[in-house]
């Protein structure tokens, strides 16, 4: 194995290096801060995220470039996902600040672990080797487990963290086992070499490859929360503090999408006829169970968890076509989904206050009487999630379905539409409650100004981008090399 190292490697890695250095610096500074100056940690974290996003933008690659002995790849898709992930984490921090302060959870660890989780996402997004995929995933997961468990006095948070940790560890084990079998057959960890090996005709190894592939997909499905590997999602979303749920449900989904792309599209594209059928099954089950069970929920966080499961099903629809157009549609979907999820959990934080969690669906009853503006924003978010035109969520579903039809999977598109219609029920029920039911809780909203502004912007972005969906879609197509 020859080893070459050039200073250009470091330039390509500059955003990751900056993030790691700043995370360590924030950790060191935070240790010496008295509690009344904790705001500085928050500001440092925000500055780091924005600065890193600017760096990614400044080093935006025109074509894929590998670095660090082919273990790191910098490509347009990765850069766009990273910028979105960084900005979404920044917004998530902004939303959580007041919530954490009210609950005596405003500690430096939350932000430092958030930064490390973001680093893990960036490593996953840029991974070009099975090894870095796994390490990035572990860095992300480990930070998330801790963030869930951080509210130690809450029994439900501890229980959620335990479930998340155990199931996450099993998923990592599955993924690693699958990867080890792939390595055993192909004798390489590098994704390009892996793809080259698989492109050669071979029959004797196919069974082993399939065996490995199944484990890899099971691991992926666990991490994505696809049925039947979804059991942790509702418990973790409901049990974790809302600020953490907000974090888990938004940016890590981008990393999970990158994981799918790197493994299935970059590495195992040659096996797509095999993984396509597995993904079809997973996505149908996810759409069905997610949408049906969500109807029966009374807890909003749990309902959104089942809605996540359903959205993961739609997300996989694009990937399973195994075409560049399909990948772009899925990327569009995941970007839109993380924006919507950010807004929806942000609304729960907006309505909560010290000693009160607005986590039940009934807490949103009559929101229009209390605050017509936020009822409007929440309606945008719910209608977008349901896929009602002209919201952004509609275009996301439409582009995925388009790709399915183009790939000749019309029956699957029909099934997806059917479940989307069933799913629309529980989103519209939220809107109905906000406008046509009497408020049970009439106290005024107590959120900070920055949260109010940010969440309004979040809702309006979904509405305005929905008016001009081509902008974001062109971006996604462009990153995958389709003009």
- Residue 307: partners with Cβ closer than 8 Å, 6 or more residues away: 290, 291, 294, 385, 423, 426, 427
Among 77, 83, 88, 139, binds another protein (CB under 8 A): 139
Choice between 107 and 163, CB closer to another protein: 107
Q: Phi/psi zone of residue 441: left (φ > 0), alpha (ψ -120 to 50 degrees), beta?
A: beta
Alpha helices, H only, 59-190:
76-102, 108-125, 130-149, 155-186
In angstroms, give the least distance from the CB of 129 to another protein.
8
Distance separating alpha carbons of residues 74 and 78, to the nearest angstrom: 6
Query: Is residue 95 a contact partner of residue 451, using CB atoms and an 8 Å limit?
Result: yes
- Scanning 19-27, 326-334, 345-353, 381-389 for contacts with another protein by CB under 8 A, the matching segment is 19-27
- Compare residues 87 and 142 and give the one whose CB is closer to another protein: 142
Count of CB atoms within 10 A of residue 446's CB? Answer: 13
The footprint of another protein on residues 360-419 (CB under 8 A) is none
- Of 42, 95, 145, 332, the residue at the interface with another protein (CB under 8 A) is 145
**Token pair listed for 452:** 């109010």
By CB under 8 A, name the one of 45, 90, 150, 476 that touches another protein: 150
In this structure, how many other beta carbons lie within 10 angstroms of the beta carbon of residue 483? 5
Place of tokens 């009853």: 365
**Burial grade of 35 (CB within 10 A; 0-12, 13-18, 19 or more):** exposed
Closest CA to 326 of 411, 416, 401: 401
Site for another protein (CB under 8 A): which residue of 48, 96, 143, 352? Answer: 143
Determine if 162 is a binding residue for another protein (CB under 8 A): no
SS3 category, 209 = helix
Of 131, 424, 445, 475, the one binding another protein by CB under 8 A:
131
Binding to another protein (CB under 8 A): which residues in 51-70? 68-69
**Interface with another protein, residue 102, by CB under 8 A:** no
Yes or no: say if 103 and 151 are a contact pair by the CB < 8 Å rule: yes
Give the count of alpha carbons within 13 A of 269, CB side only: 16
Q: Do residues 322 and 276 touch, judged by C-beta distance below 8 A? A: yes
Q: Give the nearest distance from C-beta 136 to another protein in angstroms.
A: 7
Q: 3-state class of 465 per DSSP?
A: helix
Give me the 422-461 binding string for another protein, x by CB under 8 A, dash otherwise.
Answer: ----------------------------------------
Stretch of 133-141, 174-182, 250-258, 365-373 lying at the interface with another protein (CB under 8 A): 133-141
User: Looking up tokens 């029966």, which residue turns up?
Assistant: 296
Contact in structure between 30 and 106 (CB atoms under 8 Å): no
Residue 223 near residue 259 (C-beta atoms within 8 A): yes
Which string of x and - marks every residue 23-42 that binds another protein (by CB under 8 A)?
-x--x---------------
> 152, 228, 460, 481: which one contacts another protein (CB under 8 A)?
152
Of 14, 87, 109, 324, which lies in the binding site for another protein, with binding defined by CB under 8 A?
Answer: 109
Please select the residue that binds another protein; options are 52, 96, 129, 245, rule is CB under 8 A: 129
- Which is nearer to another protein, 18 or 299 (by Cβ)? 18
Only one of the segments 127-135, 275-283, 336-344, 373-381 lies at the binding site for another protein (rule: CB under 8 A); that segment is 127-135
Q: Does 237 bind another protein (CB under 8 A)?
A: no
- Asked if residue 292 binds another protein (CB under 8 A), the reply is no
Nearer of residues 184 and 408 to another protein, judged by Cβ: 184
List of residues 6+ apart from 202 with CB closer than 8 A: none
Choose, by CB under 8 A, the member of 81, 92, 112, 385 that binds another protein: 112
Whole-angstrom distance, CA of residue 430 vs CA of residue 364: 8
> With respect to another protein, which residue has the nearer C-beta, 142 or 214?
142
Stretch that binds another protein, among 129-137, 223-231, 276-284, 417-425 (CB under 8 A): 129-137
Which positions lie near another protein, rule CB under 8 A? 1, 3, 5, 13, 20, 24, 27, 68-69, 71-72, 107, 109, 112-113, 116, 119, 123, 129, 131-132, 135-136, 138-139, 142-143, 145-146, 149-150, 152
């Amino acid at each position: 194995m020859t080893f070459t190292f050039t200073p250009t490697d470091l330039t390509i890695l500059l955003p990751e290096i900056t993030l790691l250095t700043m995370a360590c610096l924030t950790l060191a500074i935070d240790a010496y801060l008295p509690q009344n100056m904790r705001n500085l940690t928050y500001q440092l974290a925000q500055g780091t995220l924005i600065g890193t996003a600017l760096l990614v933008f400044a080093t935006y690659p025109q074509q894929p470039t590998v670095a660090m002995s082919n273990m790191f790849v910098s490509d347009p898709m990765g850069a766009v996902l990273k910028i979105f992930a960084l900005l979404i984490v920044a917004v998530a921090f902004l939303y959580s600040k007041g919530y954490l302060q009210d609950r005596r959870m405003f500690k430096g660890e939350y932000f430092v672990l958030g930064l490390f989780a973001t680093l893990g996402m960036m490593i996953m997004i840029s991974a070009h080797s099975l090894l870095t995929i796994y390490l990035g995933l572990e860095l992300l997961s480990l930070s998330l487990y801790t963030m869930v468990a951080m509210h130690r006095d809450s029994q439900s948070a501890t229980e959620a963290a335990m479930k998340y940790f155990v199931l996450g560890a099993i998923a990592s084990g599955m993924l690693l086992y699958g990867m080890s079998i792939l390595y055993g057959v192909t004798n390489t960890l590098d994704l390009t070499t892996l793809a080259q090996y698989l492109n050669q005709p071979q029959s004797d190894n196919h069974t082993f490859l399939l065996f490995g592939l199944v484990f890899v997909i099971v691991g992926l499905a666990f991490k994505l929360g696809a049925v039947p590997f979804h059991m942790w999602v509702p418990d973790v979303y409901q049990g974790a503090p809302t600020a953490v749920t907000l974090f888990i449900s938004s940016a890590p989904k981008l990393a999970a999408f990158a994981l799918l792309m790197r493994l299935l599209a970059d590495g195992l594209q040659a096996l797509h006829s095999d993984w396509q059928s597995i993904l079809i099954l997973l996505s149908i089950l996810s759409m069905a169970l997610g949408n049906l069970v969500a109807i029966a929920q009374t807890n909003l966080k749990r309902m959104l968890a089942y809605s996540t499961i359903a959205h993961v099903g739609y997300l996989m629809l694009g990937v399973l076509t195994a075409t560049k157009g399909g990948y772009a549609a899925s990327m569009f979907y995941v970007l839109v989904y993380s924006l919507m999820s950010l807004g929806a959990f942000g609304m729960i934080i907006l309505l909560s206050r010290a000693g009160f969690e607005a986590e039940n669906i009934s807490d949103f009853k009559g929101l229009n009487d209390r605050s017509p503006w936020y009822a409007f924003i929440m309606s945008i978010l719910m209608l977008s999630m349901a896929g009602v035109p002209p919201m952004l969520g509609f275009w996301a579903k439409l582009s995925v379905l388009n790709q399915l039809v183009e790939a000749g999977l019309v029956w699957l598109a029909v099934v997806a539409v059917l479940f989307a219609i069933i799913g629309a029920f529980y989103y519209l029920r939220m809107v109905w409650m906000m406008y046509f039911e009497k408020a049970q809780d009439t106290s005024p909203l107590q959120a900070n100004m920055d949260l109010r502004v940010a969440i309004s912007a979040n809702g309006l972005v979904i509405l305005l981008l929905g008016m001009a969906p081509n902008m974001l879609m062109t971006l996604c197509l462009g990153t995958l090399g389709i003009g």
